[in-house]
Amino acid sequence: MSASTLFDKVWRAHEVVAETAAAPAVLYVDLHLIHEVTSPQAFSLLKSLGLPVRRPDRTLATMDHSIPTATEQVFGGVPIKVDAAARQVATLERNAAEFGVELFAMRDARRGIVHVISPELGATQPGMTIVCGDSHTSTHGAFGALAFGIGSTEVGHVLATQALLQRKPKTLAVNVEGALQPGVTAKDLILAIIGRIGVAGGTGYVIEFRGSTIRALSMDERMTVCNMSIEAGARAGMIAPDETTFAYLEGRPRAPKGAAWERAVAHWRTLTTDPGAAFDAAASIDAATLEPMITYGTNPGMVLPIGAAIPDKRGDEIFDKALAYMGFHGGEAMLGKRVDVVFIGSCTNGRLADLEAAAQILKGRKVAPGVRLLIVPGSQQVKREAEAAGYADIFKDAGADWRESGCSMCLGMNGDTIAAGQYSVSTSNRNFEGRQGVGARTLLASPFTAAASAVRGLITDPRDMLR
Amino acid sequence: MTPVRSIRSRTVVIASSNIDTDQIIPARFLTTTTKDGLGRNLFADWRYREDGAPNPDFVLNRAESHGAAILVAGPNFGCGSSREHAPWALLDHGIRAVISTEIADIFRGNSLKNGLVPVIVDAAAAKWLIEHPGVEVTIDVGAGRLELPNGSTAPFPLEAFARHCLMNGVDELGYLRSQLGDIERFEAAHA
Ligand code: SF4
């Protein structure tokens, strides 16, 4: 057989029916992740048709998007503040019970952001197809899975059939070479990639991130990179599994055990792009020259090295509109701009390595007066690990607000929002208008940059504090 | 799903690029458990002022936009979050097709599943439409053709299966369920 890409191998292994000119492929789904916001209408569809969930054993539900992060609302004492969120939580509990789907409910020790918990359980594995009604499902591609976001109607399709109708996407190789400099993280790398290829540069493609820089990343870092594939327009991003992947998975609760583990690893080793396999498109990035990155506009492609000045593109309508929203002007330096809120968390940067980075900066330092620092772990497990490692104490000593896990201020559905006109340095993935609250102004950056900016109350190059 | 064979309507133009689904329907309105009533909050942050009154400058609030069922938008429309609430909100408001040079993948798939027609045209047609807001155009789904009032036409891509589903009101789930025999055989072979 001719040389294949990683994507081709995973796609082919899940084709129930191959695509033809007349019809899309029927693609089998190994793992279907569910959350409270995009599933209610899908369960209603099943009910209206009298259908069961076909493979509850391949379906896993959690609560993350709209649930509270305040401990007293999660663990009792105080009711959930946002009524509609309380309704969604109750609806998912009812649907999961009725359809026999495993649910990590609000007080479950395994609960968290859907893209954080599935890897940490070992449920996300190389070579799988994974879908979820959430665009950041691309995160799971870090394990060499083909993972992408779907809409609520498709959630219904997968619940009812365990399959999806899909046209085969094209492939884009993003080759990254060179060592990241100290203080420059996987977040800076993916922001730089999006800046390079553009917010629609990956539309129609699955990205494979390749090269020595990618191979040197930890799993937490690889997840940060794949997570933001969708911000370049690509539904999925993938990284070939290797020893780093296997070491991460071994011993996780849902990873294979014993002889099954050996067989699985032997198979996973075949999940690499063959030498000579052709991609439909390619891009290259030199990682060694990258600096900490920060966004200045209203999409993740409007991004700069932190020491740079905002470009002056007056007359360009997108640019003018974005800068008017942000209250910035072309030619201004980003360093030293005022910060009101700092948010550290989300499925992009809410894992232990991210909190460790924040702790490195915050240790022995204080949040600047008047600045609010909200730190939200990606899962309850991350929360426990961060507490055991002493990071939580560092955060609290610094004056940060330390919460239960969830999406929180990444999208502000649960009441964790930023006021109109305020500036937020956020480790999340979207700086769209209003994403973190009506009129909120979001600056995307790494956990290092976010923590350093919280300490000074100004946009700060974290390398100043890491030396 | 109701069959969609052709749409004839006036256009409403929002020329911005990269209109993401957070603009189409902000996250705070996703706390519904049904699809109904989302149209009220379509483009909420652009459409209403802080006090909740309609913003008279926003195109959807202008008298000439009422009843327009075709939205013309800048490139990369529908990027961002996978929320199907975006096409639901557009449809609930009365929009039945979106014309752009580029439409984001997930939004495009979600639209087709709900009978909202994604019409991807070349830059020349898009430019003309943006320069002539409110014109009456016809979208011929069967022919994959957009007819402009200046007499010109622009082809738009629609793969055979999507066209078939739109024109016959076919619900993909019915089709997928007809493949359950193959799905079971696949599972047996991979168990
Ligand atoms: S953390 Fe943000 S981006 Fe990630 S799943 Fe939650 S809302 Fe979506």
pLDDT tens per residue across span A347-406:
999 999 999 999 999 999 999 999 999 999 999 999 999 999 999 999 999 999 999 999
Q: Does A244 contact chain B (CB < 8 Å)?
A: no
Q: How far apart are the C-alpha atoms of B9 and B26, rounded to whole Å?
A: 27
Digit-coded pLDDT (tens) for B130-164: 999 999 999 999 999 999 999 999 999 999 999 99
Find the CB nearest A413 among B30, B106, B190: B30
Could you give the 3-state DSSP secondary structure of residue B145?
strand
Q: Which residues of A, range 273-302, sit inside 8 Å of B by Cβ? A: 299
Asked if A16 lies within 8 A of B102 by C-beta distance, the reply is: no
Q: What percent of chain A has pLDDT above 90?
A: 94
Q: What is the pLDDT of residue B1?
A: 80
Nearest CA in chain B to A166: B109
DSSP string, A214-264: HHTS-HHHHHHHHHGGGGGT-SEEE----HHHHHHHTT-TTS--HHHHHHH
Decide: A82 and A68 in contact? Cβ < 8 Å. yes
Whole-angstrom distance, CA of residue B169 vs CA of residue B162: 10
pLDDT of residue B33: 78
Confidence at B34, pLDDT banded by 50, 70, 90:
confident
The pairing of strands A341-344 and A303-305 is: unpaired
According to the model, what pLDDT value does residue B36 have? Answer: 84
Q: How far apart are CA A123 and CA A261, in angstroms?
A: 13
Among A429, A431, A432, residue to substitute to test ligand 1 (most atoms within 8 Å of Cβ):
A429
Residue B76 has pLDDT above 80, yes or no: yes
CA distance A372 to A367: 8
- Give the pLDDT confidence of A122-134 residue by residue, as tens digits: 999 999 999 999 9
Cα torsion at A73, A77, A81, A83 (round to 10°)? 100
- The CA distance from A451 to A447, in Å, is 6
**For the segment A305-341, what is each residue's pLDDT rounded down to a tens digit?**
999 999 999 888 889 999 999 999 999 999 999 999 9
- Judged against a pLDDT cut of 80, whether residue B32 lies above it is answered with no
Interchain CB distance below 8 Å, B172 and A165: yes
Q: Compute the distance between CA of residue A144 and CA of residue A455 in angstroms, rounded to an integer.
A: 37
DSSP B64: G
Mean pLDDT of chain A: 96
Residue A82 pLDDT exceeds 90: no
pLDDT digits (tens, 9 = 90+) for A212-256: 999 999 999 999 999 999 999 999 999 999 999 999 999 999 999
Q: Which residues of A touch B30 (CB under 8 A)?
A: 37, 65-66, 413
Q: Which of A428, A432, A436, A444 to mutate to test the pocket of ligand 1 (most atoms within 8 A of CB)?
A: A428
pTM value > 0.90: yes
CA of A199 to the centre of ligand 1 (A): 18
CB-CB under 8 Å, B26 with A438: yes
Contact A17 B182 (CB under 8 A): yes
Nearest Cα to Cα of residue A427 among A331, A309, A338, A345? A345
Which tokens go with A360? Answer: 């490195």
Q: In whole angstroms, give the CA distance from residue A187 to residue A344.
A: 12
What CA–CA distance (Å, rounded) separates B118 from B121?
10
Residue-wise burial string across A188-205, b where 16 or more C-beta atoms lie within 10 A, e elsewhere = bbbbbbbbebebbbbbbb
Contact between A394 and A400 under an 8 Å Cβ cutoff? The reply is no
ipTM score for this prediction = 0.92
Chain B nearest-CA distance from A66, in A, is 8
Where b means 16+ CB within 10 Å and e means fewer, A419-439 reads eeebbbbbbbbbbbbbbbbbe
pLDDT confidence band for A457 (50 / 70 / 90): very high
Instruction: Label residue A1 by pLDDT band (50, 70, 90).
Output: low
> Which residues from chain B sit within 8 angstroms of residue A433, using beta carbons?
22-23, 45
